[in-house]
Amino acid sequence: MTSPARRPIVAGNWKMNYGPSDAHDFVSGIFDDLDAITSVDRVLCPPAISIAAVHALTQKSGIMLGAQNMHFAEKGAFTGEISPLMLQGLCEYVILGHSERRALFGETDELVNRKALSAFAHDLKPIVCVGERLEDRDANMTERVITTQVRGSLAGLPAERLGELVVAYEPVWAIGTGRAATPQDAADVIAIIRALLAEMYGAEKAAPVRVQYGGSVTAANARDLAALPDVDGALVGGASLTADFVAIVRAFAESVA
């Protein structure tokens, strides 16, 4: 169960799915049920090309939008990139350092950190992803990997605004595999993340940071995850493309009821 001081947040990462027309139809179908769950921050993260279409539906509701990635620069010769200025007025959140960005596109902790600092500078709330690979876990390297990622990706953030930061723990071995981490797996690593943040910024400043779990989150396992005291929500992949997303949000709402 989420701490009373930290409001649950469930974000749906659509990845490379749903162009503007499909995005409009999907959100129209879940809108009423999703908008009615007011005790949880609900964030939809469409591909960049569909953000405006979804924004047109959600702008007068309690449903928020996030981008899946962002360049740190405001403008320039960065073909194919999206700047923070382009997201202002459309998005409240931006996912940074997702494992797919790190593994497939070579994003480093240093780059993720530059993006996180830029997000804060442009009044966007970063959802910063960290997580270990299967080979790391099997080699008992989980704590070392998480420590390196947290220290590198979250260095130098404005301490007075840490309440706007979301950290998503996404064990890479559990993403899209159907093999979710056990509640104890998630709890153990999230405890490491919280201890690191307290060490970096002080316990009082770090206390409001919300930590999500991401990695094969489904309607079937959401209640078990929501029951964990230090899990403040979920970063949902495949299940966010269906009405199961509403059920997942509802599970976190029930955990704070």
Per-residue pLDDT, averaged over 91-101, amounts to: 97
What would the pLDDT profile of 125-167 be if each residue is shown by its tens digit? 999 999 999 899 889 999 999 999 999 999 999 999 999 999 9
138: which 2 tokens? 């099997």
Q: Is the pLDDT of residue 3 over 70?
A: no
207 versus 173: the higher-pLDDT residue is 207
The predicted structure's pLDDT at residue 134:
87
The predicted structure's pLDDT at residue 4:
58
Query: pLDDT band for position 45 (50/70/90)?
Result: very high
Provide the CATH topology of domain 9-255. TIM Barrel (3.20.20)
Among this protein's residues, is 170 annotated catalytic?
A: yes
The predicted structure's pLDDT at residue 257:
78
The predicted structure's pLDDT at residue 87:
98
The predicted structure's pLDDT at residue 181:
77
Q: Is the pLDDT of residue 50 over 70?
A: yes
Q: Write down the mean pLDDT value for the chain.
A: 95
Per-residue pLDDT, averaged over 205-229, amounts to: 94
Per-residue pLDDT, averaged over 11-29, amounts to: 98
Rounded Cα distance between 22 and 11, Å, is 19
Catalytic residue among 100, 107, 164, 170: 170
Residue found by looking up tokens 């129209």 in the block: 28
Q: What is the 3-state secondary structure (H, E, C) of 30-53?
A: HHHHHHCCCCCEEEEECCHHHHHH
Per-residue pLDDT, averaged over 35-53, amounts to: 98
In this structure, which amino acid lies at residue 75?
K
84 versus 173: the higher-pLDDT residue is 84
Per-residue pLDDT, averaged over 79-105, amounts to: 97
Sequence ranges of the domains in the chain: 9-255
Rounded Cα distance between 136 and 243, Å, is 34
Q: Is the pLDDT of residue 216 over 70?
A: yes
Report the predicted TM-score, pTM, of the whole model to 2 decimal places. Answer: 0.96
Q: Is the pLDDT of residue 1 over 60?
A: no
Catalytic residue among 98, 107, 132, 164: 98
The predicted structure's pLDDT at residue 182:
84
Q: Is the pLDDT of residue 175 over 90?
A: no
In this structure, which amino acid lies at residue 42?
R
Among this protein's residues, is 98 annotated catalytic?
A: yes
Closest by CA position to 99, among listed 186, 10, 190, 215? 215
Rounded Cα distance between 80 and 139, Å, is 37
Q: How far is C-alpha 197 from the geometric centre of its chain's CA atoms?
A: 17
